Amino acid sequence: MRQKKRKFVLAEATLEEINKQLKINVLAIIMLVLMLVLNTTQFMKDYSLLYGTLIVIMAFFLFVMIKSRTLLNMRKQELAK
């Protein structure tokens, strides 16, 4: 039988798993920045409430992703010692 893949738990993560999560995090940040730029340009063109709301949501997600990246980097430094 296959073992069920467990969730990523930062407290139990190895250095390899943290590096993998950091790579995924960078990809997500790049995608969020691109979406934020696209929404901003569309908002400047249309001045739509929808695009304004999307900008706020994307900025919040970008903030959360950057905070998670700092947590991952702190944990990586702890494991590297």
Residue at 26 is within a domain: no
Residue at 45 is within a domain: yes
Residue at 49 is within a domain: yes
Residue at 13 is within a domain: no
The reported pTM is 0.82
Per residue in 5-34, pLDDT (tens digit) is 677 787 788 899 999 999 999 999 999 999
pLDDT of residue 2: 66
Residue at 12 is within a domain: no
Per residue in 31-65, pLDDT (tens digit) is 999 999 999 999 999 989 999 999 999 999 999 99
Structural domain containing residue 41 = 32-76
- What are residue 4's phi and psi, to 5 degrees? -70, 130
Residue at 7 is within a domain: no
pLDDT higher than 90, residue 66: yes
Residues 6+ apart with CB under 8 A from 16: none
Residue at 81 is within a domain: no
